[in-house]
Structure 1
Amino acid sequence: MSPAQLTNANVTQLPAAVGQVGRLSQALLAMVLGVFIVGVVGFSHIDVVHDAAHDVRHSNAFPCH
């Protein structure tokens, strides 16, 4: 077998999310994840988790006080 046949033999192509539905679902997921990280984790009663979220908010210039 030639090197080209070896490299192309095991290639799996996955479909990419394109179009309006793909962009909308990606934006919605990003917003939900952002709200979870900033809001829910930031108000956690576990001190280590709260402090980590607090430090991340400050490092990204996000006001929290």
Structure 2
Amino acid sequence: MISASTSRVSVQSNARTIALTMFILGAGLVFLTGFAPSTTLHNAAHDSRHTLSFPCH
């Protein structure tokens, strides 16, 4: 039988893992598109960052 405290720790650990994974994927997406050799891909990422008020330069 799983106690409530064990279940809560498991959920918190799972949430941290998911949050860290999403952060790494998001940062990778921003940096990979920012330094992409394709001008179209770079400009699309650049414009999206400005739209979201994210400083990029």
Asked whether 1:36 is paired with 2:28, we answer yes
In the alignment of these two chains, the number of paired residues is 48
RMSD of aligned C-alpha atoms? 1.3
Superposed, 1:1-65 pairs within 5 Å as 19-65=11-57
Q: Of Structure 1 and Structure 2, which has the larger fraction of its residues in helix?
A: 2
Amino acid at match of 1:32: I
State whether residues 37 and 53 of structure 1, in contact with CA within 8 Å, keep that contact through their aligned partners in structure 2: no
Question: Which structure would you say has the larger Rg?
Answer: 1
- CA positional deviation for 1:38: 1.4
Aligned-partner Cα distance in 2 for 1:25–1:48? 33
User: Stretches of 4+ moved more than 2 A in 1?
Assistant: none
User: Any unmatched runs of 5+ in structure 1?
Assistant: 1-17
User: Any unmatched runs of 5+ in structure 2?
Assistant: 1-9
State whether residues 57 and 64 of structure 1, in contact with CA within 8 Å, keep that contact through their aligned partners in structure 2: yes
